[in-house]
Chain A
Amino acid sequence: MDYEILEHTADVCIRVYGKSLDKLFENSARAMMDLITDKEKIKPSQEIEIEVDGETIEELLVHWLQEILYLHEVSKMVFKDFRLSLIGKTHAKGNALGEKIDMDRHELLFDIKAVTYHNLKIEPVNDRLKVDIVFDV
C-alpha cells in the first residue's frame, strides 16, 4: 500500500509511503490525484514537464504537489501518473501524464485549495519513507 487516508476533522490528511524520495514524491502526487478524481478514467494522452525548487526537502515536496494542483486548476487537466527525479535535495524534475478535464468522464470529487505544511515531516519507517500531508479542502 502506497498511501492511506487518515482522519482529520475539517480537512483531508493522507499518509504516503515510498521506497525512495523519488517514489515518495510520485506516490504523494498519485494519492492527491486519487482524492481529486477517479484515476482509472484518465487517458494519459498528454505529458507535462514539471520542475520545482525548495529550500528543504519538505518544501520541495509541497512545491511539487502545488505545481500539479496549479496545472489541474489553471490548465484544467487531470493526471493519471507521474515520474520524478530529485537533483540534490533542493531541485526536482519530473512529468505528469494526463489529459484535459472532460466533465462527462471525469467526476471531480475534492476541490483542494492548498497543500499545507501542517506537521509535515518525511521520516524513515522500516525500509521505507513516510510522510503525512494535510490538504485544505
Chain B
Amino acid sequence: MNESINLVKIHDYLWEIPKKGGMRVPGRVYATESMLKDIQKDKALEQVVNVAHLPGIQKYSIAMPDIHWGYGFPIGGVAAMDVEEGVISPGGVGYDINCGVRLMSTNLIEEEVRPKLRELVSELFYRVPSGVGSSGKIKLSKNDYKDLIKKGAKWAVEQGWGEAQDLERIEDYGTFPGANYDTISQKAFERGSDELGTLGSGNHFLEVDIVDEIKDLQVADDFGLFKDQVCVMIHCGSRGFGHQICTDYIDRMLSYMRREEINLPDKQLACAHIKSKEGRDYLSAFAAAVNYAWANRQIIMSFARESFYRIFKIGPRDLGGHLVYDISHNIAKFEEHKVNGEMKKVCVHRKGATRAFPKGHPLVPEIYRNVGQPVFIPGDMGRASFVLVGTEAALDETFGTSCHGAGRMLSRNEAVRRGKNRDLFSELERRGIILIARGKRTVLEEMPEAYKYVEDVCDVVHNAQIAKKVARLRPIGVVKG
C-alpha cells in the first residue's frame, strides 16, 4: 500500500497528487474512489510522481483509469514535454513502439458468420502467425526496410496489402515523418526481419467482434458501425524491431544523462533533451518503428480480409472490410496544446494511452473531421471492448488523451495459478466465443478475470468527458499468441 502519496479529490473521477520534492508539476489520476483502492496496491502512483520529475514536463503527470504498474512510466501514463527545454524518454513510449489497435468493419451480421465461425477463426489463426517467437513469411531485405521505415502503412499498400483508402483512416495517414536508416542498429533490423505480419504474444490479439450495443447512433453511423455487425479488431505493434530500438536508445540516453548530470528517481526513465543529438536520433529511429507497426497492422488486416473471402466465398464488395480507424497507444507525438492560456508545441508521451481529439481538430483525418477521432478500448477476451470518440474536454485537460484498455488486475503468475485447473477454451465456447491460441500459458495469463472490467474504465473516461462512448463490442472469435 502506497500511503505516503497524498491524493486530493478534484471531482468524482479525478484526483490530484500535489507537487512535492523534485516534482516539477502535480500528478493527476482519472479514477473512481473504489478504483483508486486497487491502484494504490502497487507502485503505479509512485511512477506518476517519478514522471513529474522529468525536465520540461507541462501541466501534469497524468494517469488514465486503466493505470497499472509498469517500469519507469506507469502504463496508462501521459506526459507532455516542452519542445525547447524538455526531454524525450524511450521508456515513456515503451518497448513496443506504436503498439496500437485497429478496427475493421464488415457488411456481415452475426447470423451470417456463426455457422462458419470455427472455420473462420482457424483460418485467421493459420494466416496470421502468432505466439512466442512467431516469425512470418515476409522476409525484409535492406531495400525493403529502407522503403518501409519511411512510408509505413503506405508501403504495405504499395506492396498489395490493402487499399489506398485504408490510409485515410490511420493516424497521420499511416506514415510518420523523419525516419532515418542510419540511426537504427543492425540488431534491430535483424530482430524485425521476419516478424512483419505477425501478432506476437502476451496481450496482443486478433478478434472477431459483434457490435453489441450502440451508445451514440449518429457517431456510430459516421464510423460505419451498426448493431449486430461483424468487425475485426487487431492489437499488436512493432515487434522485435521496436523492442530493440527502445533497448538501444535507453542505453544511449543513460550515457547522455551521466554527461549532462540529469538525475532521476528511476533509471528506466532514461531521457535526453529533444533538441540533443541523442534525442533527435531516437526520434528518427522511433519514427521507423512507428512505420513498421503501421505496416504490420495493415498487413494483418489484409490477411484477415483474405480469410473472410476464402471461408465465406465472397469478394471485397460483399465483405465491406473497411478500416474504421487505427490508433496508437505507445507513442510520442509533436502537437500544439494550450498551456497556461497559450498554444504551445509539446511532445506528448502516451504510454498505454490513446489520442482522443475532438471534431474540428486539424490532426483528425479529414474523413472524421466533422465527427471526432475514433478511440478503441479493448477489454478482455471474454467480455467486451468499446468504441469511443474524442472530445474537447480531453483536449483541454489531458493533451487530447484517453485510456487504452481495461488494465491488468492480476499479475501474470497469479492468473496462471488461479486458472490452473480451468479449461478456458471450453468455458468461452459455452459463451459463444471460439478461442484459438498457440500457448496455453498465454491464455491463462490473459483470462478475463485478470483484467478490470473494461466498462468500468470506459465509464470513468465517459463521465470525466475525456472521450464519449459510441458502441460496445463483444468477442465471438479470438486468436491469441
Contact = CB atoms under 8 A, between A and B. Distances in A.
Contacts of B91: 116
A111 B268 CA distance: 20
Given A117-B270, A118-B268, A108 B133 contact: yes
Contacts of A108: 131-133, 439
Interface string A3-23: 001011111100000000000
Contacts of A73: 133, 191, 240
B276 interface: no
Contacts of A70: 187, 190-191, 244
B131 A136 contact: no
B13 interface: no
Contact of B267 (A7, A11, A110, A117): A117
Interface string B232-256: 0000000010011011001100110
Given A109-B441, A136-B95, A114 B243 contact: yes
B71 interface: yes
A118 B72 contact: yes
Interface residues of A, number: 33
A95 interface: no
Nearest to A76: B133
Nearest to B251: A59
Interface in A100-114: 101, 107-111, 113-114
Contacts of B95: 113-114, 136
Interface string B316-328: 0000000000000
Contacts of B408: 9-10
A111 to B, nearest CB: 4
Nearest to A101: B133
A134 B250 CA distance: 15
B281 interface: no
User: A-side binding surface: helix, strand, loop or mixed?
Assistant: loop
Interface in B128-187: 131-133, 187
B258 interface: yes
B12 interface: no
B42 interface: yes
Given A73-B191, A74-B190, A117-B267, A7 B133 contact: no
A8 B44 CA distance: 11
B477 interface: no
A137 interface: yes
A74 B187 contact: yes
B69 interface: yes
A40 interface: no
Contact of A5 (B72, B190, B251, B413): B413
A111 B411 contact: no
Contacts of A76: 133
A55 interface: yes
A8 B411 CA distance: 6
Given A7-B411, A111-B132, A114-B247, A119 B266 contact: yes
Interface string B259-273: 000000011101000
Contact of B69 (A9, A59, A110, A113): A9
A125 interface: no
Interface in A43-81: 55, 58-59, 63, 66, 70, 73-74, 76
22 contacts: A7-B414, A9-B68, A9-B410, A10-B75, A10-B408, A11-B70, A55-B254, A59-B254, A70-B187, A73-B191, A76-B133, A108-B133, A111-B200, A111-B202, A113-B240, A114-B243, A114-B246, A116-B268, A117-B250, A117-B254, A118-B71, A118-B268
Closest 5 pairs (CB-CB, A-B): A118-B71, A108-B132, A117-B267, A118-B268, A111-B132
Given A8-B411, A111-B481, 5 more contacts: A7-B414, A10-B75, A11-B70, A73-B191, A109-B132
